Amino acid sequence: MRWRCPVCGGASSTVRYPVPEEGTEGGVDAQAFRPSSEQFGRTAGSVVVCTTCGHGSLDRLPPPEAMEEAYADAADPVSLREEEGQVETARRALAQVEQIVRPGRMVDIGCWTGSFLVAARERGWDPVGVEPSKWASDRARERGLDVRTTGIFEHDLSAGSFRLVALCDVLEHLDRPADAVDAIAGLLEPGGALYLTVPDAGSRLARVMGKRWWSVLPMHVQYFTRESLRRLLTDHGFDVRSVTTHAKVFSARYYAERLGGYSPAVERAAVGVVTRIRQADRLVAPDFRDRMAVIAVKGSP
């Protein structure tokens, strides 16, 4: 099938990250699809950029059934160690959201082990989650959360019943982002908000690092810029209220371990340093300005 831009429908593109003619570099499997994957620079196909709107995406998508199986089987014990930081990241996000909408019913699509829901519950929201990974959704339910093991298009949630939909680090994984945005709009009550985070492929860091940027990963099929994401949301009935950078809270050890995607020796040295100075468990949130957080409000029909 001929490539079409998932954002604007354009048919003209240029190659940004090629892969060898003989096949894919990254593969589609549960190990590659875990959140702490260090397979930087590997993709499941060539990434092309639309010459009309600047959005990047795979020129050929992996088989849908292969991706569904990989997400269903994905597991990542590192996530358990890092849940304190993930909850703090969510608290900071909700503080921004609550400047636009007051707490009410909310759903986190792709909630993983439920840290956003934990923070929402603390702040007076009535939260529910959707997560395709059996391992992650089981962990979320262990935390006393209402989480359904399913995908964005398969859930049984009631239309128009949520004040907030969170979609954190999810849209870049989806082969049909426009359909996903429409599905989210259908869940929101009038004036409800969408909180969305994705890597920023138009950031200076992404441009400088090229294919070695740490958000070039096997599970990422979309590469949004601020402009292409704003266009997608606006074209599908959302009023974009804010676009900011998005820093994640993790332990210093976690950030040191990510260097293993470039050099195991450097990773060992970095982990050794933060351990020796007794900072390994310290929560940090460096802002590399290569991620974006968007708050958008559902417009009138």
Task: Give the integer Cα–Cα distance in Å for 260 and 271.
Answer: 10
| pLDDT (mean) for 265-281 | 97
SS3 content of the chain, % helix, strand, coil (to 5): 35, 20, 45
- Which tokens hold the place of 249? 């809270």
pLDDT at 281 over 50: yes
Instruction: Evaluate whether 48 touches 56 at the Cβ level (below 8 Å).
Output: yes
Task: Give the integer Cα–Cα distance in Å for 37 and 254.
Answer: 12
Return the pLDDT at 301. 56
| Letter string b/e over residues 92-121, b meaning 16 or more CB atoms within 10 A of that residue's CB | ebbeebeeebebebbbbbbbbbbbbbbbbb
Average pLDDT along the chain: 93
Task: Give the integer Cα–Cα distance in Å for 111 and 136.
Answer: 8
Return the pLDDT at 1. 64
| Letter string b/e over residues 228-251, b meaning 16 or more CB atoms within 10 A of that residue's CB | bbbbbbeebbbebbebeebbbbbb
Return the pLDDT at 212. 92
C-alpha distances (whole Å) from 1 to each of 11, 22, 53, 92 are 12, 19, 21, 42
Is 71 exposed, middle or buried, given 0-12, 13-18 or 19+ CB atoms closer than 10 A?
buried
- Which tokens hold the place of 102? 């007051």
Return the pLDDT at 27. 58
- In the chain, DSSP assigns E strands to 13-17, 47-50, 56-58, 105-109, 126-130, 147-148, 162-168, 188-199, 222-223, 238-245, 250-251, 283-284, 291-298
pLDDT tens string 119-165: 999 999 999 999 999 999 999 999 999 999 999 998 989 999 999 99
| pLDDT (mean) for 188-204 | 97
One-letter amino acid for residue 246 of the chain: H
pLDDT at 241 over 80: yes
Residue 279, beta-bridge partner list: none
pLDDT tens string 245-259: 999 999 999 999 999
Q: CA nearest 49: which of 79, 104, 84, 7?
A: 7
| pLDDT (mean) for 170-189 | 96
Ordered by where they begin, the domains of the chain are 71-247+289-298 (3.40.50.150), 250-284 (no CATH)
Instruction: Evaluate whether 279 touches 251 at the Cβ level (below 8 Å).
Output: no
Instruction: Evaluate whether 62 touches 29 at the Cβ level (below 8 Å).
Output: no
pLDDT tens string 61-108: 888 888 888 899 999 999 999 999 999 999 999 999 999 999 999 999
pLDDT at 185 over 90: yes
pLDDT tens string 5-53: 999 999 999 999 887 544 444 456 656 667 767 788 888 889 999 999 9
